[in-house]
Amino acid sequence: MTNSLRVAMIGHGFMGAAHSVGWRQAPAAFDLPLAPAMAVLVGRDADRTAAAAAHWGWSETSDDWRAVVARDDIDVIDIVTPGDSHAEIAVAALAAGKHVLCEKPLANTVAEAERMADAAASAAGLSMVGFTYRRVPAVTLMRDLIAQGRIGAVRQVRASYRQDWLADPESPMTWRLEKDRAGSGSLGDIGAHAIDLTQFVTGQTLDSVSGVLETIVSERPLMGEAVGLGGRAGAGTGTVTVDDLALFTGRLSSGALASFEATRFATGRKNALEIEISGDRGALHWNLEDLNSLHHYDATRPAGTQGFTRILVTEPEHPYLSGWWPTGHMLGYEHGFSHQVKDLVEAIAARTAPAPSFEDGLRVQRVLDAVERSAADGSAWTEV
Ligand code: SOE
- pLDDT given at position 338: 98
Nearest-atom number in ligand 1 for the CA of 132 is 10
Find the mean pLDDT for residues 323-347: 97
Q: Determine the pLDDT at residue 225.
A: 62
- Give the Å distance between the CA of 281 and the centre of ligand 1: 33
Gap from CA of 50 to ligand 1 centroid (Å): 24
Alpha-carbon torsion, ordered 190, 196, 202, 204, to 10 deg: 130
Predicted confidence at residue 216, as pLDDT, reads 98
Question: Ligand 1 pocket check: which of 14, 135, 263, 289 to mutate, most ligand atoms within 8 Å of Cβ?
Answer: 14
Write down the pLDDT at residue 34: 98
Q: Residue 182: exposed, middle, or buried by beta-carbon count in 10 A (0-12, 13-18, 19+)? A: buried
Ligand 1 atom closest to Cα of residue 193: 8
Q: What is the pLDDT averaged over residues 81-110?
A: 98
Kindly report the protein residue whose alpha carbon is nearest to atom 9 of ligand 1. 190
Which ligand 1 atom is nearest residue 104's CA?
A: 8
List, for residues 28-58, the tens digit of each pLDDT value: 999 999 999 999 999 999 999 999 999 999 9
Burial 190-220 (b: 16+ CB within 10 A, else e): bbbbbbbbbbbbbebbbbebbbebeeebeeb
340, 343, 349, 350 alpha-carbon torsion, rounded to 10°:
-150
Q: What is the pLDDT of residues 170-212, one digit of tens each?
A: 999 999 999 999 999 999 999 999 999 999 999 999 999 999 9
Smallest CA-to-CA distance from 201 within 250, 159, 251, 173 is with 159
Condensed to tens digits (0 to 9), the pLDDT of residues 96-109 reads: 999 999 999 999 99
Taking the centre of ligand 1 as the mean of its atom positions, its distance from the CA of residue 189, in whole angstroms, is 6
The per-residue pLDDT for 233 is: 75
How far is 324 from 246, CA to CA, in rounded Å?
A: 36
- What's the mean pLDDT in 6-29? 97
The answer on pLDDT for 122 being more than 50 is yes
pLDDT digits (tens, 9 = 90+) for 125-158: 999 999 999 999 999 999 999 999 999 999 999 9
Instruction: State mean pLDDT over 352-357.
Output: 98
CATH 3.40.50.720 domain span(s) along the chain: 3-133
HEC states along 42-85?
ECCCHHHHHHHHHHHCCCEEECCHHHHHCCCCCCEEEECCCHHH
- pLDDT attached to residue 1: 46
* Per-residue pLDDT at 133: 98
User: What average pLDDT score do residues 216-241 get?
Assistant: 81
State the pLDDT at residue 230.
Answer: 63
Q: In this structure, are residues 30 and 346 in contact, taking their beta carbons and an 8 Å threshold?
A: no
Could you give the percent of the chain with pLDDT greater than 90?
96
Do residues 127 and 101 make contact, with C-beta atoms less than 8 angstroms apart?
A: yes
Digit-coded pLDDT (tens) for 281-323: 999 999 999 999 999 999 999 999 999 999 999 999 999 999 9
CB 76 within 8 A of CB 126: no
Ligand 1: centre distance to CA 102 (Å): 14
Q: Which CATH superfamily is domain 3-133 in?
A: NAD(P)-binding Rossmann-like Domain (3.40.50.720)
Q: Alpha-carbon distance 82 to 86, whole Å? A: 7
DSSP state of 377: T
CATH 3.30.360.10 residue ranges of the chain are: 136-353+364-377
pLDDT above 60: residue 227: no
Model confidence at 2: pLDDT above 70: no
Question: Is the model's pLDDT at 84 over the cut of 80?
Answer: yes
**pLDDT confidence of residue 235:** 83
Q: Which residues of 11-20 are buried (b: 16+ CB within 10 A; e: fewer)?
A: bbbebbbbbb
- Give the ranges where the chain is alpha helix by DSSP (H): 14-29, 46-56, 65-69, 86-95, 110-121, 137-147, 179-182, 186, 192-202, 335-350, 358-376
For residue 40, what are the CA distances in angstroms to 7, 56, 60, 64?
7, 11, 5, 11
Top-level class of domain 136-353+364-377: alpha beta
Residue 332's closest CA among 342, 344, 320, 343? Answer: 320
Is residue 226's pLDDT more than 90?
no
List ligand 1's pocket residues with C-beta within 6 A: 14, 163, 189-190, 271
371-384 pLDDT, tens digit per residue, is 999 999 999 999 99
CA of 259 to the centre of ligand 1 (A): 20
Nearest ligand 1 atom, CA 165: 2
Give the per-residue pLDDT at 238: 94
Q: What are phi and psi of 279, to 5 degrees?
A: -115, 175
